[in-house]
Structure 1
Amino acid sequence: MFTDWTEALEAEALPLDLNPAQQLAAAARVTARSSRDKDDMALLLDVLGLPTDTDTLTALLPLIPETGDAPTMTNTPAAPALSAFEAMAISMHNNGDSEQAIREATGLSETELSDLIANHVLGLPRAAADAPTTDVPVVALPVSNALQELIDWATAHPTASVRSRAARITSDLSELSERRDSEAAQREAEAEAKVAKARAELEKAQEELRTVKAGTRTTTAAATAPTPIRAGLGSGRTREELAAVRTWARANDHQVADAGMVPKRVLKAYDAAHQAPVRKAG
């Protein structure tokens, strides 16, 4: 879109068979006229893939429009000059590009792009844009030097939208830092709770093990105690006990038969040797 009739006539007079060099030169001139300053012009030329060498920038510098920073006698404030990225966004919008494509190409946020289109394309009232802006203080965060330098640069930028973006980024970083610390504290508390639970279960298991061991010792002592001689017919001893008596008698030079009754003298000697009470035969 041309801003005056002279530019339209110049464009109409251009030949249709331009060579690439002429096309690049024409694009560079249009870019320079849409730039706010030398830095914006260099950035936009680089984005469009146009030459950005020192000679080209020096030749295009006179084409950059005046920003109107000098004080004027008029009471109506002049509209702020568009940056290279804002001019590029308006051009892409006029060409029918989607908002997503425009934001990706220019780096503008959704709010900035909406305000730009409303103010410079739709012609809506600029009350919000003209209202005095209040700079949000940037809170220092434990970030890298490069990131902190970038935030400091954006905070001191003359463009209000850049300063607002720096404030939003700082706020987001602060919120993320608080959330990280909160989640870390929660994970630490959960880990401590798990350790305490595991320690309690271990102590309980050790107590049960000690109880089992104490019960095992009692059972073993009862199992190793001498078996009392049961009263019954004859000698009152079972076949197994009589067999043990015969084995002991032979080992101690007592004469016993392989079967039948065991003499009482042998039984008494056996009982005396094993400190067992002498039992009378039935």
Structure 2
Amino acid sequence: MQIINDPAYMQKTAESLRLKHQLIAVVMTMGALHEGHLSLLKIAKENAGTVILTIFVNPRQFGPDEDFHRYPRPFEKDAAMAKAAGVDYLFAPDVESMYTEGFQTQVNTGDITNRFEGEKRPGHFNGMATVVLKLLMISKAHLAIFGEKDAQQLAVIKRMVRDFNLGTTIIEAPVVRNEDGLATSSRNIYLSSQERQQATVLYQGILRAKELVAQGMTETEKILEEVAAVIGSAPDATIDYTGIVDADTFAETGTLRPNAHHRLLLAVWIGSTRLIDNSILEPLEQSAAQDT
């Protein structure tokens, strides 16, 4: 595995790989690698001959009151995990090389980010999309693998790739969960042991929503009320938002429609740690149709 810090050298290396007809896949992370990231790398290895892993804690997607300075940065551990996972190139630039003096251009992500994470974290998606665009240009990847756990982020990236005719194929990877259902996240390390136990209420809320939908409930307000009750059973849990949306546009919906893709969204504070999760909801008619 080769570690590269300079964006220009990474781009030159990627161009050389393309000229040799190498199929390139990229997995973008902010480090603090966990099983979720490793699952993305596994998909990358299965679909491409060359895998680039990027590690860059992007300051432009953190708000002024968020955890940029305390975000975990265990680079040596991450590098060892990347090598063991079969990564070919680890691209780990510093902030100064990614945002050179006078840098001022950014992606405007539009209406899809006016709600949920975009509303709660102003500027987050513009900063995220800007760095993803830069990393796609630097890595020259044919394929990019992103997890469904950051569902709104995934929708934004897919729209950007389509709108800008970037030609990169986006592969969606399912949420990776611990045995108790908690989605893997770099922020889970902030949880105390007691909070870690309480954090399972996010997944319990998802299971409750799926149970109600399987029973035929389609009114999203009632489903969300039940989900909120489950999450509220944890003493240190505070709901930031819940919602049920069209999975592509992220427009909220009042009724689940057959043969439409709906997604349940959760953002919950467990103590001082903010966790997000989501899941696709399938109305009864759609589930029955798929079983036949």
The TM-score, its normalising length taken from structure 2, stands at 0.23
Q: Which has the higher helix share?
A: 1
**Higher RCO structure, 1 or 2 (CA under 8 Å, sep 6+):** 2
- Which entry has the higher C-alpha Rg, 1 or 2? 1
The TM-score, its normalising length taken from structure 1, stands at 0.24
